[in-house]
Amino acid sequence: MDDLFIINEGGQLLYSWHLKKQDENSDDDLISGFLTAMDSFASIERGEDIKSLKLKETNIIFEKVTDYIQKITFVATTKNDNLIELLHSVIHDIMESFTEQFGEFLNKEFDGEVTKFQKFDENIKLD
């Protein structure tokens, strides 16, 4: 997994993680808004959710959790085509861990505060 974005249904970035250190100019909020817009377009225009996208080198995987007041989307990227199935499994483990840790916050209207989610870093171990 190269990147992980956890985004609520309004497009607000709750959490992001990157395998490689990001450039100072990288804007995860802009990326999460773009991913949300693409997913919304697919839902509205095609009546379908995006499950994955394939760029020239990058695979983008979308998984949703709709069991809470805040609907959230987990988006992960990889450049390794051989890891797609494994990545789905990893994302599901991350989804379970995130919702278990932050379920009480997800079952309330979004208050705009995202710093509480940063402690999720300790759950992401890909050694």
In the sheet that 13-18 helps form, which strands lie side by side, from edge to edge?
Answer: 13-18, 3-8, 72-78, 59-65, 52-54
85-119 pLDDT, tens per residue? 888 899 999 999 999 999 999 999 999 999 999 99
CA 121 to chain centre: 14
Q: Residue 86's Cα: distance from chain center in Å?
A: 16
- 51-63, pLDDT tens digit by residue? 999 999 999 999 9
Question: What are the sequence ranges of the domains in the chain?
Answer: 3-123
pLDDT, tens digit (0-9, with 9 covering 90-100), for 79-94: 998 888 888 899 999 9
> 3-state DSSP helix/strand/coil percent for the chain, to nearest 5?
45, 25, 35
Angle, CA of 69, 72 and 75, to the nearest 5°: 175
pTM of the model: 0.89
CATH 1.10.3720.10 fits 3-123, yes or no: no
Closest CA to 99 of 127, 50, 65, 126: 65
